[in-house]
Amino acid sequence: MKQLLIFLVLLLFASTVYAQGHTVSYVINGEEFEGYYISPQTNAPLVLLIHDWDGLTDYEIKRSQMLAEQGYAVFAADMFGKGVRPTDTADKRELTAALYRDRTRMRNLLEGSFAAAKAEGADIENAIAMGYCFGGTVVLEYARSGKDLKGFVTFHGGLTTPEGQDYSQTKGKLLILHGSADTSVTMRDFANLTEELEQSQIAHEMITYSGAPHAFSVFGSDRYRKDADVKSWQRFLGYLEETLQ
């Protein structure tokens, strides 16, 4: 019995050590970026996580660790560049606007991040992409690009489709988690996306949370709404279990 207990303790310790995440430096077209990778085990299903408009911060790392605890590998991508983590609203707007204007660059950065996840040993054949706010908008861009992932998830992200784009090439099921009190991304935007996805016959699930404003899942902010955060996170975990086998 004593030997069994020692074995179980060592096994738990080994699992804990293995699940420690680390930063990942990678290069896309000569530019250096710094992501974050964590995996609880070999060949764990992959979640490609895209950050909000303040860059890859402790928030995305915390969410990555929460997912790793559930058995998922996570590569948190960097869309701005190594060391670029804006704190001023003007800088955040400038960085995101530059990518909104250059959708080709946005897609290239996503592909480069996905390649970096593969280089870390991630199972890219069993993967979804998800994002928060700006990151959710980016994830829908990836969906429209025709990227062959099992799914795409957005938490309080932008929902408007750029002119000239559609979802005709989208693969995988979409999960849209949205606050009905969001004044930045309105319920009209939500309804328009619903119609687009129906017209393109794209499998999707779209959920709203009453009283939840934009960025309702960001811990510690004045926009945080625990009820919406808990419910959306649980639905996300259920979606992952259904989608990533």
Residue 20 pLDDT class (50, 70, 90 cuts): confident
* Banded model confidence at residue 18, pLDDT cuts 50, 70, 90: very low
Q: List, for residues 25-42, the tens digit of each pLDDT value.
A: 999 999 999 999 999 999
Asked if 50 contacts 35 with a C-beta cutoff of 8 angstroms, the reply is: no
DSSP H helix total and E strand total for the chain: 7, 8
pLDDT at residue 224 is higher than 90: yes
| Mean pLDDT of all residues in 121-133 | 97
- Nearest-10 Cα torsion for 136, 142, 143, 149: -110
Query: What is the 8-class DSSP label of residue 21?
Result: -
Tokens 């950050």 map to which residue?
Answer: 51
Q: Is residue 185 a contact partner of residue 178, using CB atoms and an 8 Å limit? A: yes
pLDDT classification of 19: cutoffs 50, 70, 90: low
pLDDT for 245? 76
Mean pLDDT of 131-147: 98
* pLDDT above 60: residue 229: yes
Asked whether the predicted pLDDT for residue 5 surpasses 50, the reply is: no
Does residue 100 carry a pLDDT above 90?
yes
The pTM score is 0.92
Q: Is the model's pLDDT at 194 over the cut of 80?
A: yes
The pLDDT value recorded for residue 70 is: 97
**The pLDDT of residue 12 is above 50:** no
CB atoms near residue 245 (< 10 Å): 7
The count of other CB atoms within 10 Å of the CB of residue 210 is 10
CA distances from 208 to 118, 172, 222 (A): 33, 21, 19
Domains and CATH numbers, the chain: 20-243 (3.40.50.1820)
Whether pLDDT at 11 is above 50: no
For range 38-62, the mean pLDDT:
97
DSSP per position, 100-111: HH-HHHHHHHHH
